[in-house]
Amino acid sequence: MSTQKVAIVTGAARGIGAATAQRLASDGMAVAVLDLNADSCQDTVDAITKAGGSAIAVGADVSDEAQVIDAVDTVTDKLGAPTVLVNNAGVLRDNLLFKMSVDDWDTVMGVHLRGAFLMSKTCQRHMVDAGWGRIVNLSSTSALGNRGQANYSAAKAGMQGFTKTLAIELGRFGVTANAIAPGFIQTDMTKATAERIGVPFDDFIKACADDTAVKIAGQPEDIANAVSFFAAEAARYVTGQVLYVAGKPMN
């Protein structure tokens, strides 16, 4: 029987999730590349298999309980029991509070918090059975507050409390839970933000890089590297932590 670990990365069709799926595959895991639509995952799956790794595409909306249960069952049947979970799927619905619709609030809560809850709840039983597991949740520097993001900052702060509680509950079963809070990362998500505020993406990238201590525009791989650390065997004593990966000190 194979001892290859099985990971699920949500929102892995593109951006940070795609880079993370590829990184975990190159670390030796079989990876379920999960996103809203299985077809959209194909590029990530192809990149992994081309590099000699093992991956499948899975379509599911992480905020839908039935779809999450189906997706985790599919992964278990096709790859094996998932013991590594990266809750990365995310959306923005930015607006100032007085203009923010209830739908925009609920959508953001649904994908980030409900989604991470459903995925973690569904996967934890496989981790507990195995006596080993790794959960990595994507928070954000916006958890510290950000204009126009009452919904997103509340969700990303919520991810931190959720992570710490999972760490406390699941530690005795060999399962760690940690959060990564990225600053600016160059992806389609931040491209959409630049478009929304009417700034050319290149100017936006430069301004974000200038605002860091290291004068670098963060790339998806910068986050994938941090996920790889938390998911590793060697990180067994690291749990309930929030790692800001933002090119500058954050608090």
Total Cβ atoms within 10 A of residue 39: 11
Residues that bind ligand NAD (CB under 6 A): 10-11, 13-17, 35-36, 61-63, 88-91, 111, 115, 138, 140, 182, 184-185, 187-190
To the nearest whole angstrom, how small is the minimum distance from the Cβ of residue 52 to ligand NAD?
24
By beta-carbon proximity to ligand NAD, the closer residue of 8 and 185 is: 185
Query: What gap in Å lies between CA 157 and CA 61, rounded to an integer?
Result: 22
Q: 79: exposed, middle or buried (C-beta count within 10 Å: 0-12, 13-18, 19+)? A: buried
By beta-carbon proximity to ligand NAD, the closer residue of 63 and 124 is: 63
Query: What gap in Å lies between CA 11 and CA 3, rounded to an integer?
Result: 25
**Cβ pair 241, 181 in contact under 8 A:** no
To the nearest whole angstrom, how small is the minimum distance from the Cβ of residue 111 to ligand NAD?
4
To the nearest whole angstrom, how small is the minimum distance from the Cβ of residue 187 to ligand NAD?
3
**Which of 45, 83, 115, 152 is labelled catalytic?**
152
Q: What is the DSSP string of 41-60?
A: GHHHHHHHHHTT-EEEEEE-
The DSSP call for residue 235 is G
By beta-carbon proximity to ligand NAD, the closer residue of 111 and 175 is: 111
Phi/psi class of residue 198: alpha, beta or left (left: φ > 0; alpha: ψ in -120 to 50)?
A: left
By beta-carbon proximity to ligand NAD, the closer residue of 137 and 239 is: 137
Q: Does the annotation mark 152 as catalytic?
A: yes
To the nearest whole angstrom, how small is the minimum distance from the Cβ of residue 89 to ligand NAD?
4
Q: What residues are labeled active site?
A: 152
